[in-house]
Chain A
């Protein structure tokens, strides 16, 4: 039985489609209503939070797609839906042509997708030894014949992420934040996945440790041909890691472009504002616009384009119509009436 599983894992058919991941019209609504009795007494309607609305993207094999946005933009919700932890309210996720929520064999699919979380302190079981933690996916998917093979594989993985095979005998509290994130990466790699979803993997780390982890992630990508979905709020980190970037605002992807193109000529007014807000480390004294306003409450978003109250280019239409993403010649998708009308 286990042999079969290994064979299946190793001979996963190399599909010909260039896209490993396809998300189509992903939406997720959360019910944030008060309890029924309170609603009746206080005569309040049900409340819904649209965390993600109509998000579509594809991720090509071996590339890194990054989603950036501020808190409440829905980027982590997208990550959870793509990895299969949260069922979308609408839309579909296809991994290598298989519909995750429509009949695909989830067990075999899950082996190929792994996730790295933000907080390396919360995502490791403090009562488990590190070798046990890393071996868990190997056992769960039946990827090894016996104990010796598991032990050997765990040692390999620890070496791979820059730790010592003997570190497997320790518990998570004996490691620093950066080392814990290495353990999380080793665990994610233990099922030999093709696709890693990284949800702000370095924001809890100091900058010199962040550099070590980002470099490690890029080395592993080159070595194993991994595909990444990289979620972050740090534009500089994203520029460093991503092939393409999607910028999210209040549950929608408002601009999606190749990394270089996005930074050279940002189109959407929100992308421009975000880039202007990044501290100027090089001290070039580049001219920049002042940032105005805050992200609105997602329970009660503004009508039309959600960004229009903060947008310097907003006109009548922006207050009424929700802008649809238009794909330009260079493959860049922008959802903005002003860009469409040639005002940028």
Chain B
């Protein structure tokens, strides 16, 4: 058993406010192995970006890690002093964000930014660093890299900029890459190219990738395993094929049913009633219970812990051996799509 590249144990992120403490990430645990892509998926407010931000130690105060551990190759990094953490970021953890334009400094040529990153984290000479920067741009699929290295960020298109950002994230050969919505700002044909690039680089360099996105399609294309987040917790985590094709948690099932599919034609979409609770009003028991068609009394009282069910780990009282495994799945199948509105859920 090798040590996972990233290991997150019972992570809890809190935001103390005047009106009490908000829990943005609650008791989240997962591992990512070398060469593996873990997809983290969820709707707005599910805590997926917050988890990524906590791992790289960039939480905005007053947000803070209130519990749990983050281990990089077995070493704790959540309690490092800021100066040491700064060296871990960039060197051992690379980052790719949604908007490539804000990740690049518009006043510097992309080459300067790459070379600076390489020289900060390695003891390469200026000419070695430049050669390496050109190699990285080529690996990221930028044609004529030796020429384009002297261009400014605004001279690249959106897709090309995201390639530059990926090259920048790879500059110090990190063990882990955190990609937060890397394709959301891009057109679908460019998105396919960037997904392909991330997968190839992960395969070739053996880096682990934490891919945060709201797009189940991107996850299905890219990830090996997927964690579905809801209201700050992981609802379901497992191999991508199991989660996409045989989702166990009622929320995952609802989510999959609500995605319009190319194969499906024009049938009515399944709906989840209501909307994601706000952090100020997370329901007692299972956070999903007010929207769940199958909720029983226990769901309203006790918080479910993850249990193994149908290939994945599911935090649901109705999943797993206790209810003969198939119960929630079959019950969902027999439930007709209910037409309700999100009128009461969000603003109430």
Q: Which residues of A contact B (CB under 8 A)?
A: 70-71, 161-164, 167, 170, 174-176, 178-179, 182, 206-212, 214-216, 218-219, 233-237, 239-241, 259-260, 263, 273-284, 290-291, 294-295
Contact = CB atoms under 8 A, between A and B. Distances in A.
A223 to B, nearest CB: 13
B43 A208 contact: yes
A236 B220 CA distance: 15
Interface stretch (B1-9, B95-103, B110-118, B210-218): B210-218
A206 to B, nearest CB: 4
Interface in B195-228: 195-196, 214-218, 220-221
B346 A175 contact: yes
A279 B265 contact: no
B74 interface: no
Nearest to A273: B189
Contacts of B268: 215, 218
B270 interface: yes
Nearest to A71: B187
A294 B189 CA distance: 8
A209 B345 CA distance: 11
Nearest to B262: A236
B247 to A, nearest CB: 12
B16 interface: no
A176 B214 contact: no
B339 interface: yes
Contact of A277 (B188, B255, B260, B264): B188
B262 A275 contact: yes
B347 interface: yes
Contact of A283 (B245, B258, B340): B245
A184 B347 CA distance: 17
B155 to A, nearest CB: 12
Indicate the member of A175, A209, A241, A282 with the most B CB atoms within 10 Å: A209
A215 B339 contact: yes
Given A277-B192, A283-B244, A291-B193, A214 B260 contact: yes
Interface string B309-343: 00000000000000000000000000000011111
Which 3 A-B pairs give the minimum distances between C-beta atoms? Answer: A162-B341, A279-B217, A211-B258
A167 B192 CA distance: 42
Interface in B258-305: 258-266, 268-272, 275-276
B212 to A, nearest CB: 15
A70 B187 contact: yes
B275 A209 contact: yes
28 contacts: A164-B343, A167-B347, A170-B347, A175-B347, A176-B347, A178-B342, A182-B341, A182-B343, A206-B43, A207-B255, A207-B258, A208-B271, A209-B43, A209-B342, A211-B270, A212-B271, A212-B341, A214-B269, A215-B268, A219-B339, A239-B260, A277-B192, A279-B217, A280-B220, A281-B259, A283-B241, A283-B244, A291-B193
B174 interface: no
Nearest to A282: B263
Given A207-B214, A215-B268, A281 B261 contact: yes
Nearest to A162: B341
A216 B343 CA distance: 13
Contact of B346 (A179, A234, A281): A179
B277 to A, nearest CB: 11
